[in-house]
Amino acid sequence: MDKIKSFFNREQNLLIHILAAISVTILGIYFKLSTQEWILVYFVIALVITSELLNSAIELSVDMFTNEFNSLAMVAKDTAAAAVVVSAFTAALVGAYVFLPKLLVIIS
């Protein structure tokens, strides 16, 4: 359990993504998503979490090999972080596609 705590202390963004996945799951149950909607939602959840894990692996690997500023190390880290942003943006678009019509029905 201590290793899990230390992992989430080091990787706080991953914890945020997991909490978002739990929240989306609760919303999906509430709105009774179809099978196709669940597949879309969990595909992008997996995409975001995978991107975050790869980003962490790249950042840790770069840090392991250099302690001083290196422009290529910075590019590697920034590119990995950008991959997370792209996957999160994709997840937001899918979330809007799946949940926005259901929310609009409730509002109107």
pLDDT tens digit at each of 108 positions of the chain = 777 777 777 788 888 999 999 999 999 999 999 999 999 999 999 999 999 999 999 999 999 998 888 999 999 999 999 999 999 999 999 999 999 999 999 998
Residues ≥6 apart with Cβ < 8 Å to 73: 62, 65, 66
Closest to 93 (Cα-Cα) out of 20, 38, 41, 16: 41
Q: What is the pLDDT of residue 13?
A: 87
Options 1.10.287.3610, 3.40.50.1820, 3.90.1150.10, 1.10.150.120; CATH for 2-107 is 1.10.287.3610
Q: Where are the domains of the chain?
A: 2-107
Q: What is the pLDDT of residue 63?
A: 92
Residue 50, amino acid: T
Q: What is the pLDDT of residue 35?
A: 98
Q: What is the pLDDT of residue 18?
A: 92
Q: How far apart are CA 20 and CA 44, in angstroms?
A: 12
Does the pTM of the predicted model rise above 0.85? Answer: yes
Q: How far apart are CA 87 and CA 80, in angstroms?
A: 11
- Asked if 38 and 95 touch (Cβ cutoff 8 Å), the reply is no
* C-alpha distance from residue 2 to each of 12, 60, 107 (Å): 15, 20, 44
